[in-house]
Amino acid sequence: MQSLKHYFLMAMPHLEDPNFAGTLTYLCDHDDDGTLGVIVNRPSELTLDGLFEQLDIESEPGPHNDVLVYNGGPTYRDRGFILHRGNASDWDSSIQVAEGLALTTSMDMLQAIAQRRGPEHYLVTLGCAGWKSGQLEDELKQNTWLIAEGDAAILFDRPPEQRLSAAAGILGVDLNLMTRDAGHA
């Protein structure tokens, strides 16, 4: 199977797992070892200002203080993942996901955002979504997910409540018109 890095993973309407029902996950890494992604349409009630306070990071006042932190997935909920425009080489503990898109897990990024020196476009999540080798492929065969190529405009230019339908729109699909019953060919 081709790599699904820089793809959207959309939960099918019949997926009842509370961790993933109604989610849009952006896949940041996919290889023989497994898959890593972050859910990009579930903002929490925690703001960046609240996160900075919890982590004892001094923050410059600005519009970033009220930005919501996302529930990125059921795995590593105590760790931050920052999906952002830019290059991985600019930050510690980063991987390049696609041209102009990277995932960073280091404090230097959070400190830069707090001091208004970080990237202009970013999503901060607590937690991530992960699948062991072959697990996601099996779930795809069971019609649990739809996949579509990733699009930075959906990540950064759309409000969270519109991201899932916008990603489905890439495929010409309206998830509201799909049945909750799984079909298998």
Domain ranges across the chain: 7-177
Distance CA 72, CA 69 (A): 9
**Model pTM score:** 0.92
pLDDT of residue 1: 65
| Choice between 14 and 181, residue whose per-residue pLDDT is larger | 14
pLDDT tens profile 38-66: 999 999 999 999 999 999 999 998 888 89
Looking at every residue in the chain, the average pLDDT score rounds to 92
**Token pair listed for 177:** 């018109």
Question: Stretch 152-157: mean pLDDT, rounded?
Answer: 96
Q: Which amino acid is at 154?
A: I
CATH topology assigned to domain 7-177: VC0467-like (3.40.1740)
